[in-house]
Amino acid sequence: MIEATAIILAGGKSTRMGRNKAFVRVKEHKMLEGVIRVLNGEFPEIIVSANDNLFDDLGVKTVPDIFPDHGPLGGIHAGLRTSSYAMNFLVACDMPFIDVRLAVHMVKSAAGYDAVVPRLRKYYQPLFAVYSKTCLTAIENHLKQGQNKIFSFYSDVKTRFIGIDEIGLFGDPEKIFFNVNTPVDLDLAKVMAGREKDGC
């Protein structure tokens, strides 16, 4: 196992899905449960960032936002504050095709940095990233100022960006970072999962 915590964001309102995304089933398990299962073999501590107790039966620690109503950045902050490890891999619960090998690689490549963030062309992937506890001061400052976009604090910390060539060593970036926000996304994810099962 790697010396790092995995933080899973599961506190979103799922308004576009119309129901709680954490409980949506893409493969054989509900999405949040599937993410936990993928990460469990590599990370000694898993934290779910959520503002309710819906996930208590999953055997992981659930932490509420300290800065409520600040979106995912508030969830990142709460997870980092609770984590037992300096380094933390953060992922959203609605990403059914994450690759734990890439997550581990990113943690191992974080030495000397405060954050490691994938970037595909001009787009960041802040919900599949590594954040050190050293980011906490910058995050808190931005939360207090109402700057809730996750990437807003990147310029305040030492951030390593990884590109498509590095990510591609572990799989198709478009699939790894695919997230399920809408019923249409869910239908597509199920098709992708079927292809994965058939070895396509």
Over residues 155-169, the mean pLDDT reads: 97
CATH homologous superfamily for 5-197?
Spore Coat Polysaccharide Biosynthesis Protein SpsA; Chain A (3.90.550.10)
Summarize pLDDT for 74-104 with one digit per residue, the tens. Answer: 999 999 999 999 999 999 999 999 999 999 9
3-state secondary structure the chain: CCCCEEEEECCCCCCCCCCCHHHCECCCCEHHHHHHHHHHCCCCEEEEECCCCCCHHHCCEEECCCCCCCHHHHHHHHHHHHCCCCEEEEEECCCCCCCHHHHHHHHHCCCCCCEEEEEECCEECCCEEEEEHHHHHHHHHHHHCCCCCHHHHHHHCCEEEECHHHHCCCCCHHHHCCCCCCHHHHHHHHHHHHHHHCCC
Binning pLDDT at 50, 70 and 90, where does residue 126 land?
very high
Summarize pLDDT for 8-62 with one digit per residue, the tens. Answer: 999 766 666 767 788 888 988 889 999 999 999 999 999 999 987 777 778 889 9
